[in-house]
A and B are shown apart, each in its own frame.
Chain A
Amino acid sequence: MMRSFPLLLIAALGLLLVFALGDSLLTGTEIGPVAQHYLDNGVAETGVYNLVTAVLLDYRALDTLLESAVIFAAAAAVWSLMQQRRLPDAEGGLSVAVRTLIPRLLPLLLVYSVHLALFGHLTPGGGFQGGVVLSVVSVLLIAAFGTGYEYRLISPNTKSRLELLGGGILVVIALAPLVVGAALLTNGGAGFPLGQPGSLFSGGTIPVLSLAIFVKVAAAFSLILYSLLKKGS
């Protein structure tokens, strides 16, 4: 009885959800009016081809700003939880095969991460994806050469300064439209040049925001990974 109780509970909740959502969320294919507006006017209003980026960094840029605040809070929390700990002494890294393969893989990943961040407004990708790929580079460096090598390459202090730099750029761009009397994070409406849609320099503030998020997310995630690697006394 006790063992099957969770199963019964989940079955009941499942039935409830099927009845509640069966004819709205789970079926149906129509596009809502807001999304339809983005599809119809996205390129004209933001100057970028990738409409997901247009929503993320222009229409709903406030969400993205607060999301990066959440990431900052998470990184700070992990960092402070692990502050009492020290890096493990062993810093040898993995086998010869891994140490040979990974340095040949790293340039590709670096180029890919920068590509994702730079061309996020034209092709799939964006600052978040690029930043996470860049933090994977830091994981691979630790896996191949140990924590000491990674520490000497980019110290945690540099990473936290880079994260502050990214966050600072985000806040400055967010506040800039207030000077001309536009709302927070306005892009084209505040006079930023939208450029020719489809070219690298287009979309006003969107590529800049993307690069700032790229730096910030990469620094935050590699800081988190680095903190988790520390050992207790």
Chain B
Amino acid sequence: MDVLSLGPWVGLALFLIGLYGLLTSREMTRIVMNLTVAESGVIFALVARAGSGGQGAPIVGNAAGSMVAPLPHALVLTAIVIGASLTALGLSLAQGTHELERNAGSGEEQ
């Protein structure tokens, strides 16, 4: 069995690992991290499925044989960049939540 065709299955496993983390975590930064893991799994499954079908990167003049499909790469690039900006947004919300909880806690003590 070709080892490259195992790639999408590894992606599925990464997705499930991230989803398990999402189900079991309560703290906000951990939730964002596990979301990142699940997202990486989906992205890797797409790229691996596209990549096992050819012999070269989709750049003219570079490929020795048939090129792989460029469409999944383009979609996945968009997903990675948006994922990074959403991670930043989630973490800034986590900072805000932490601060609110701390302020509420010190208010009760007084």
Partner-B contacts on A (CB < 8 A) = 6-7, 9-10, 13-14, 17-18, 21, 25-32, 34-36, 38-39, 42-43, 49-52, 54-56, 60, 63-64, 67, 70-71, 74-75, 77-78, 81-82, 123-124, 126, 128, 132, 197-198, 217, 220-221, 224-225, 227-228, 232
Decide: A60 and B74 in contact? CB cutoff 8 A. Answer: yes
**Interface residues of A: mostly helix, strand, loop or mixed?**
helix
Which partner residue on chain B sits nearest A223 by CB separation?
Answer: B88
A7 to B17, CA, bound (A): 10
Contacts of B5 in A (CB 8 A): 27, 29
Contacts of B23 in A (CB 8 A): 6, 9-10
B30 at the interface (CB under 8 A from A): no
Decide: B89 and A51 in contact? CB cutoff 8 A. Answer: no
B28 at the interface (CB under 8 A from A): no
Contacts of B99 in A (CB 8 A): 232
Which partner residue on chain A sits nearest B80 by CB separation?
Answer: A128
A128 to B85, CA, bound (A): 12
For residue B21, give the distance in angstroms from its CB to the closest CB of chain A. 9
Contacts of B72 in A (CB 8 A): 35
Decide: A123 and B88 in contact? CB cutoff 8 A. Answer: no
Within 8 A of A (CB), among B54-94: 54, 57-62, 67-75, 77-78, 81-82, 84-86, 88-89, 91-93
